[in-house]
Chains A and B, each alone.
Chain A
Amino acid sequence: MDGACLELAGKIPAESSPLAGTDESALVRRAQAGDRTAFDALVRLYDREVLRLAMRVVKSEDEAADLYQEAFLKVYRSLGRFRFESSFSTWLYRVVVNVCLDHLRRQRSRNEVQPPEQEPGEPEYFHSLADPNPGQHPEQALRAREIGGRIHAALEQLTPRERMVFELKHYQGLKLRAIGQLCGTTEETAKNCLFRATQKLRSCLADLL
């Protein structure tokens, strides 16, 4: 794993990464030659992160599973075109971010033709997630759920690109330069997206601040 990346991600020293090690490229080469076991190994290195990101941009587990599959099928189909000009993880996450952006765009155009069936404050939730705070008082839990709904609805007001930039910045802690790369745009555009996103969120959630 590239040290620059981890510095950008602001996370951990490279040697702690389970993805560290030179033989990832060997796995990629084997997968490029059609070795399914190698491809499966690559999937398992990254798929939890991919699913976690997918869950952030969709409304249901079914949709998250669809994005997961779409992303890895795209990776599988275009793996032959990967030329080791970047790290495999950058390349893979570009595919994933593209799939998420496409999903957000499709969702947005659907929302424009038909009004949402649910009240904006009551989005559908993932049911099988582990309860992050099991000892919570029921009233607190209800309140947290309400706030969660409001946040979700506010995030839905963002354009696909604003949403993606905001997710990668606020929730995944990436640097704007890396976000620009993943979203196929410049650092400056990513910066503007982040600015607009926070403005919109602040006005949507003003009464909670």
Chain B
Amino acid sequence: MVCEEIEAKMTLYLYGELPDSECAAVEEHFAACADCARHAATARRLQQLLNQQPVAEPAPELLVHCRQALEVALDYEQLGWHSLLRDWTPALSLSHPSGIVAVVGLVIFGFGLGWTLRPQTGRVHTAAPAQASSQATLADLSGARISAIRQVAPDPETGGVKITLDAEHRVTMEGSLDDPRIRDVMLYALRSYSNPGIRLDTLEALRSKVDTPAVQPAFLYVLQHDPNLGLRMEALNAVRKTDWNPEVRGALLNVVEHDKNPGLRGAVVDELSRRALQQHDLQVIQELQRLAETDSDRYVRQKSLSALVALGAAGP
């Protein structure tokens, strides 16, 4: 090959898009031509430089914010804005995309210990992953030291969840969300794990179980103590759907009293007033009165006052 041809093929070569048959010729040319070899070295340095700006993981707050905003927008759609908006939106050219599938940035951490938790069956099934050095049973986990949790992913097929984590040995297992050993890992993740993305995933995976006695305390813990606002918001969203009980009430009251974020306090005021209306809960009404008078944030005071007005517990 001559230098001009190499120039045209260099990018493809460096991005692994050149057929094997041509790679050899390109490499031979680099060995013989100092100019092109220097060019290739520069191109490699460009790749390395660009890798210094890696693909960042979205902050959980941002993800939660996006989901909430989308939910509101979809509500509007369903309320009849649909046709109006559609008229304004140019049609998408989406017909007949062909069978090749592409996944954008699907990053899976294949290393570690994978669990599939099945909420319905109590079945515990073990299977070794392709590169696993050993096949293990769920019982092995009780003695395993967990060094890192890599991923918590919902499994749409089973409604269960798959956890990938690093432990002393590597296994893949299936179990139930009700299995206490599995629950313990997830509760560990929620309470102690430093990566907020993993905590968010765990929260989502456990969401369907928020009404169970084993899981609910973890949600209430996150709602009250997680350092990440997005996580606390998500925990509140889940807690909204639970039955009213003294623990839920205590957690909500604790949040309005102690949480530093007025947005979350305001959202909890909404929830408290909704519950107070349903449950005729006097203690909640008293707390709303206190908030209306003494909360440091004007928005929270106003929200509490409006709630009381709506409840008929305060004059306009």
Contacts and interface: CB of A to CB of B under 8 A. Distances in A.
Given A12-B110, A148-B52, A181 B103 contact: no
Interface string A142-156: 001001100110000
A174 B58 CA distance: 20
Contact of B93 (A76, A148, A152, A184): A184
B156 A45 contact: yes
Contact of B66 (A5, A23, A69, A208): A69
B4 to A, nearest CB: 13
B282 interface: no
Contacts of B105: 49, 52-53, 171-173
Contact of A5 (B62, B101, B108, B162): B101
B313 interface: no
Contact of A77 (B43, B61, B66, B86): B86
B107 interface: yes
A83 to B, nearest CB: 8
A43 B154 CA distance: 12
B63 A47 contact: yes
Contact of A21 (B45, B53, B65, B155): B155
A208 B49 contact: yes
Given A78-B92, A175-B17, A202-B46, A11 B108 contact: yes
A62 to B, nearest CB: 10
A109 interface: no
Residues of A in contact with B, size category: 35 or more
Contact of A96 (B50, B59, B104, B196): B104
B135 to A, nearest CB: 16
Nearest to B161: A18
Contacts of A51: 58, 62-63, 66
A63 to B, nearest CB: 11
Nearest to A144: B52
Contacts, number: 235
A132 B54 contact: yes
Nearest to B129: A16
A16 B52 CA distance: 28
Interface in A54-90: 55-56, 61, 64-65, 68-69, 72-74, 76-78, 81-82, 85-87, 89-90
Contacts of B130: 13
Interface in B126-161: 129-130, 151, 153-157
B46 A182 contact: no
A209 interface: yes
B42 interface: yes
B2 interface: no
Interface in A34-51: 36, 39-41, 43-45, 47-51
Interface stretch (B27-35, B71-79, B251-259, B288-296): B71-79
Interface in B90-112: 91-108, 110
Contact of A69 (B12, B17, B69, B96): B69
A93 B102 contact: yes
Contacts of B110: 12-13, 16
A151 B73 contact: no
B86 A201 contact: no
B33 to A, nearest CB: 19
B287 interface: no
A176 B59 CA distance: 29
B70 interface: yes
Contacts of B156: 19, 21, 23-24, 27, 41, 45
A177 B16 CA distance: 13
A65 B78 contact: no
A48 B58 contact: yes
- In the A-B complex, list the 6 residue pairs whose CB atoms are closest, starting with the nearest: A5-B101, A18-B153, A21-B157, A178-B102, A2-B101, A128-B59
Interface of A: 1-2, 4-6, 8-13, 16-24, 27, 36, 39-41, 43-45, 47-53, 55-56, 61, 64-65, 68-69, 72-74, 76-78, 81-82, 85-87, 89-91, 93-96, 98, 126, 128-130, 132, 144, 147-148, 151-152, 168-179, 181-182, 184, 191, 194-195, 198, 201-202, 205, 208-209
